[in-house]
């Protein structure tokens, strides 16, 4: 088992304006960004950095001049193969001359994403964008019953989107099942960037707890997938859909299996009377004093079924002072269910 920290790391790097209270709020935000954004293709000869009094702007042929955010400026420096730190130390006029000397001069066009009068990203011709709305639409359709975890201590929700990327953390809090005698629920992380800041990716898992710092504790059956934003990135959407469908199918199968076991436990008797039932409970490692109390509770309910006795043992375990004792008692009670599994 492992402790997963992706959501924890996102929690402490996100600002309040990048945090969303629901999938609908996140969807609306991403939809607005997509509607307000426009891809522009320009030959290198049409792209030039110009000095303004306090910053650089980028002129895109007849489309005019656009400002840059930190990420698009970083990408511009990468395309020019010059250090961003070096360019930042230059005056705007000197920086424009340096970029004019170093930006590529070939025939392959630049792919430039703008929002109003600002550049969101700059890429070469091989970059392929996957819109956040396409990813969210798939999650909403196939990750039924999943939802964000409890709100973190900082107010983080697990649903984030900023200028550079998107991150979604969801769990199914009603899908607790037993795996090797312990309780687990399913969850996943999904992430993407419309501007090339990070790869498209997904991580699915089964977990035992999520703390208020959004660390996922004791995760098992972890599956991870990433894909770069190249020509076939849309195939990555199909891969992530398959991963989510797989964890949903396993969730449903395990829930059905657990229901079947409980139904059998309700029907199967440990004994015909209190004495016989007590003997069977003690045979399975339950201390006689605890077993006697559980059988008494079961007798009051008029049934000596496996389920009634396990339910009684579970209730008695909650009265234990120490967590270790409660866990040990729960494990022994759960073993009784294996009699009908």
pLDDT in tens, 82-133: 999 999 999 989 999 999 999 988 889 999 999 999 999 999 889 999 999 9
Q: What is the pLDDT of residue 70?
A: 94
Q: What is the pLDDT of residue 266?
A: 78
Q: What is the pLDDT of residue 302?
A: 77
The token pair at 268 is: 């199967």
The token pair at 150 is: 């409890």
Ranges in the chain, pLDDT < 70: 1, 179-181, 257-259, 261-262, 317-335, 337-341
Q: What is the pLDDT of residue 322?
A: 46
Q: What is the pLDDT of residue 332?
A: 67
Q: What is the pLDDT of residue 338?
A: 67
Q: 242 forms bridges with which residues in the sheet?
A: none
Cα(294)–Cα(206) distance, integer angstroms: 32
| 159 touches 188 (CB < 8 A) | no
b/e 222-243 (16+ beta carbons within 10 angstroms → b): eeebebebeeebeebbeebbeb
Q: What is the pLDDT of residue 262?
A: 67
pLDDT in tens, 181-222: 677 899 999 999 999 999 999 999 999 999 999 999 989 899
């Amino acid at each position: 088992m492992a402790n997963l920290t992706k959501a924890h790391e996102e929690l402490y790097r996100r600002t309040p304006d990048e945090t969303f209270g629901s999938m609908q709020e996140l969807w609306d935000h991403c939809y607005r960004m997509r509607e307000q954004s426009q891809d522009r293709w320009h030959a290198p000869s049409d792209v030039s950095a110009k000095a303004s009094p306090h910053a650089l702007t980028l002129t895109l042929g007849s489309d005019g001049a656009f400002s840059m955010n930190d990420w698009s400026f970083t990408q511009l420096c990468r395309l020019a193969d010059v250090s961003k730190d070096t360019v930042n130390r230059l005056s705007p006029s000197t920086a424009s001359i340096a970029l004019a000397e170093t930006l590529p001069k070939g025939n392959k066009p630049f792919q430039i994403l703008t929002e109003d009068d600002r550049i969101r990203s700059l890429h070469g011709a091989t970059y392929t964008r996957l819109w956040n709305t396409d990813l969210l639409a798939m999650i909403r359709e196939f990750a039924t019953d999943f939802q964000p975890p409890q709100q973190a201590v900082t107010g983080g929700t697990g649903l984030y989107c900023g200028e550079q990327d998107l991150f979604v953390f969801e769990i199914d809090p009603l899908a607790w099942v037993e795996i090797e005698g312990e309780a687990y629920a399913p969850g996943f992380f999904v992430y993407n960037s419309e501007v090339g800041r990070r790869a498209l990716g997904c991580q699915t898992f089964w977990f035992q707890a999520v703390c208020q710092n959004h660390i996922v504790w004791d995760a098992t059956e972890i599956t991870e997938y990433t894909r770069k934003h190249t020509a076939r990135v849309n195939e990555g959407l199909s891969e992530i859909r398959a991963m989510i469908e797989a964890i949903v199918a396993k969730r449903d199968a395990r829930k059905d299996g657990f229901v079947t076991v409980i139904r059998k436990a309700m029907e199967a008797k440990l004994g015909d009377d209190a004495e016989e039932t007590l003997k069977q409970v003690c045979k399975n490692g339950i201390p006689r004093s605890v077993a006697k109390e559980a059988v008494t509770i079961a007798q009051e309910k008029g049934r000596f079924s496996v389920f009634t006795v396990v339910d009684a043992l579970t209730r008695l375990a909650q009265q234990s002072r120490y967590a270790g004792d409660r866990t040990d008692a729960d494990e022994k009670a759960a073993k009784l269910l294996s009699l009908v599994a």
